Amino acid sequence: MKTKLSILAVILLAASAMQAQGPLLMQSPTLNASHIVFAYGGELWRVNRDGGTAVQLTNGPGRKQAPHFSPDGRWIAFTAQYGGNFNVYVMPADGGEPRQLTYGPGPDHVEGWTPDGKNILFRSPLESYSPRYEQLYTVPFNGGIEQALALPMGYQGSYASDGQHLAYTPLPRELFFVGFPLVHAFWAHYHGGLAPEVWIADLADSSVVKIPHENASDFNPIWVGKKIYFLSAQTEPITLYAYDTDSKTVTRVVENHGMDIMSASAGPGAIVYEQFGSLHLYDLASGQEHEVRVQIRGDFPEIRPHFAKVADHALNAEISPTGVRAVSRRMARFSRSRLAKATCAISPILPASPIVLPRGLPTENRLPISPTLPGNTLCT
């Protein structure tokens, strides 16, 4: 009896520790036979497929993002900003010194690997004459000159096992407006002409076949066997669909009743996807999915209360009835770390606890609060 109570106490303690940590912002997960690697707080982390405490793989200046396991699961290709520009890097799956593969002046964004593991697929504006489009390239794993795919434009892509066909999106999720990218793929109910869709290209002659498209945002293709999985807003919220290359039919494979699924990647026997900053595994054999519970531990100086000059970034402000205090909101440069309350109070008397932009009528000692949104943050 005492043993059972002890085990129960350990389980409850672990569960309460996870709850105390609060929601996370894990992004762009990738999967091999034993681990999941994802981006969090501008760095790459690794966790067991069963969940648990994550281990940090990268460190240093700049952001690291878009990790992709090699087909054999031994290497990770990713996009990093070590030298100031976003370029393609590769490192061992267990961590280690990253090796730079591209040196272009524009941002190079990793999209995957060729099936033989000899080349890394990435997108880049290297030869684009307009910021409105990019192209897909491959670069050798051992280093060398990048080669453009014989497609006029492309963003995300996934190879068939034969290496001769590619499921890709010719249109981006971003709409460039006066130089600023707007992620229109996640606009609710968007059915305009710029909605991205998934095409299948025969790389031998550059011919394409279009996957049935309902003028809603289709993106993030994943080619597994005879099926092409992709994310779609055909029925909101955004969820996982599959196109059968034999029957030419599209089916919804995940009944999503929560938040949008933002990214997904395939590995041995499963697809890992990101939903509102949490990780989930979809089992390809059973068709069942479950959440992977992750703990992340670190000092995270970025989320500690601190003073910052926000005058150049302030969007709006509210002053208390007596004029003693003021609260303002600013737009974050990057989406970082946690879905946490980050403080941004400009006042001779700073509040002791983090707050967010107030809504409604404030009093001198109390402020109504609202949840922070991805992309918006507040600071002291």
**Cα 203–Cα 208–Cα 209 angle in degrees, nearest 5:** 130
pLDDT category at 330 given cuts 50, 70, 90 is: low
**Cα 192–Cα 196–Cα 197 angle in degrees, nearest 5:** 115
CB atoms inside a 10 Å sphere around CB 183: 13
Closest by CA position to 365, among listed 330, 328, 332, 320: 320
State pLDDT tens for residues 114-166: 999 999 999 999 998 887 789 999 999 999 999 999 999 999 999 999 999 99
Q: Is the pLDDT of residue 172 over 70?
A: yes
Lowest mean pLDDT among 85-89, 169-173, 187-191, 254-258: 187-191
Mean pLDDT for the stretch of residues 300-323: 73
Burial of 105 (0-12, 13-18, 19+ CB in 10 A): exposed
- C-alpha 313/C-alpha 38 separation (Å) is 29
What are the backbone dihedrals phi and psi of residue 250, each rounded to the nearest 5 degrees, phi first? Answer: -115, 130
Structure tokens at 214: 């309902």
- C-alpha 175/C-alpha 75 separation (Å) is 32
Structure tokens at 192: 């305009």
Q: Is the pLDDT of residue 375 over 90?
A: no
3-state helix, strand, coil in the chain (%, to 5): 10, 40, 55
- C-alpha 369/C-alpha 356 separation (Å) is 6
CB contact at 8 A, 267 and 33: yes
Quote the strand ranges of 268-311, DSSP E: 270-275, 278-283, 289-292, 294-295
The residues that bridge with 241 in the sheet, in sequence order, are: 230, 252
Kindly write down the DSSP assignment for every residue of 100-111, as one continuous string: E----SS--EEE
Kindly write down the DSSP assignment for every residue of 237-271, as one continuous string: SPEEEEEETTTTEEEE-S---SSPEEEEEEETTEE
CB contact at 8 A, 274 and 38: yes
Residue 378, classed as helix, strand or coil, is: coil
User: Is the CA virtual torsion 169, 127, 71, 263 positive or negative?
Assistant: negative
CB contact at 8 A, 183 and 171: no
pLDDT for residue 307: 77
pLDDT for residue 187: 65
**Residue spans per domain, the chain:** 24-295, 299-380
Residue with tokens 């940590």: 21
| Top-tier CATH class for 24-295 | mainly beta
CB contact at 8 A, 250 and 214: no
Structure tokens at 121: 């697929």
Q: What is the pTM of this model?
A: 0.78
